[in-house]
Structure 1
Amino acid sequence: MGKQLIIALGREFGSGGHVIAEQLAAHYGLALYDKNILRDIAEQKAVSEKNLTPYDERPKSPFLSRTVRGFTNSPEENIARLQFDFIRERADAGESFVIVGRCAESVLKGHPHVVTIFVTGDLEQKVHRIMEREGLSKEAAAKRVEQVSRQRKAYHNHYCKEKWGDSRNYDLTINSSRLGIAGTAALLTAYVDARRAADPVK
């Protein structure tokens, strides 16, 4: 992999994937990109970040959008394309970073310095995590897990040929319920280190 390191981490809602991404970024001293990409885009376009946030990681509405000669009026699709461009530009510039979601494993497919990971989890533990984090009842948390996971799947599958969560599209797919958040992060660190050791800086 040489000196550059990019970790593209997809995750099921409630799996703890974002926390794991934070731990990996801290361990390697890398920038962490997720919804904060919108801040950079908002500054570039001279618009308010809060006007972009509602469209983050959402599939375009087939009822409220049109595409004519390659141009679309869908804010969801425009935001997605801007984020994809942001990810590619950072990767092509040689930057090392951790990127959460945003179809990064497909956007950067074939890039020599990318490690792709998908974090899943047992439903019961995902629901429990959301109950604690968002102060919801078990029933409400279960509905939230189902809703957000369905949204992420629809978003990913709209923009990518590869299917969301399909293990064949990632270097490693792992269930965080087995080892917990810290244990999963430690295992992933060992994997990344092994990958880097297998392709040392020439």
Structure 2
Amino acid sequence: MTKNTIITIGRQFGSGGHEIGNRLAERLDIPLYDYNLIRMAANELGISAETAQNVDETILGRFLSAYVVNLGDYTAFMSGQEMGEPLSDQVFRCQTAIIEKLAQRSSCVIVGRCADYIVGDYSNCINAFIYAYKEDRIRRIMRIYKLTEKQAWDKIKKTDKERKLYYEAHTGRAWGSIEAHQMLFNASLLGVNGVVDTLEAIYRSKR
């Protein structure tokens, strides 16, 4: 158990969840852990960040087993580990251990990676899920990735499906549901700053 305050942010793709996490961490002057968790896990596992990235927040490794994107990295790592365990499970297990250590180290913001489930027993965990209207998500993804409207929507559907499968496979909870998360925020209604303001107030009330 830790006395640190841990803010976990689940998010629909294109809802602004990562931006909210980044702004919140800057405002509170606490660490943000998101994509950097992939690099940490890759270092621990002795594989490339690219290999870890390709199974991050997906269950790809459960189906492809040893035939993941970078066979050389995977085979090298598996030679000293229990053969047959999907790479996605290895990355998840490693990220879980890293998240638990980081939560013990200091207060922080963690985006995705089933962090709400991993640190859910901590009394000072603030668990939020960010969603937004379809039109707003499409506009955001079109702008960020320079895609057409159809390409953006296809990417959103694919990414959300992967995140949902990944989350539910590892937690047994319904991704994005009120049963799985303490708070749901509509970023289309509140705006990014509105969500950040609210989470900041909740955080400070726990200090």
The Cα of 1:109 is off from its aligned counterpart by 1.5
Conserved 8 A contact 2:9-2:128? yes
1:101 aligned residue: 112
Identity of aligned residues (%): 30
Query: How far apart are the structure 2 equivalents of 1:109 and 1:72?
Result: 29
1:75 aligned residue: 87
Query: How far apart are the structure 2 equivalents of 1:65 and 1:47?
Result: 15
2:64 aligned residue: 64
1:127 aligned residue: 138
Q: Does 1:175 align with 2:186?
A: yes
- Give the 3 Å change call, closer, same or farther, for CA 86–72 of structure 1 in structure 2: farther
Conserved 8 A contact 1:60-1:77? no
Q: Does 1:113 align with 2:159?
A: no
- Give the 3 Å change call, closer, same or farther, for CA 109–123 of structure 1 in structure 2: same
Conserved 8 A contact 2:5-2:203? no
The Cα of 1:3 is off from its aligned counterpart by 5.5
| Per-residue Cα deviation, 1:76-125 (whole angstroms, up to 9, x for no partner) | 1111111111111222x342111001011111121112110000111110
> What secondary structure, in the 3-state scheme, does the structure 2 residue paired with 1:136 have?
coil
Structure 2 spans left out of the alignment, 5+ residues? 67-81
- Give the 3 Å change call, closer, same or farther, for CA 3–111 of structure 1 in structure 2: closer
Conserved 8 A contact 2:55-2:61? no
2:37 aligned residue: 37
Q: Does 1:7 align with 2:7?
A: yes
> What secondary structure, in the 3-state scheme, does the structure 1 residue paired with 2:64 have?
coil
Query: How far apart are the structure 1 equivalents of 2:181 and 2:63?
Result: 32
Query: How far apart are the structure 1 equivalents of 2:42 and 2:61?
Result: 22
Conserved 8 A contact 2:100-2:118? yes
Name the count of aligned residue pairs: 192
| Per-residue Cα deviation, 1:48-80 (whole angstroms, up to 9, x for no partner) | 2222211111114554339xxx86431111111
What TM-score, normalized to structure 1? 0.87
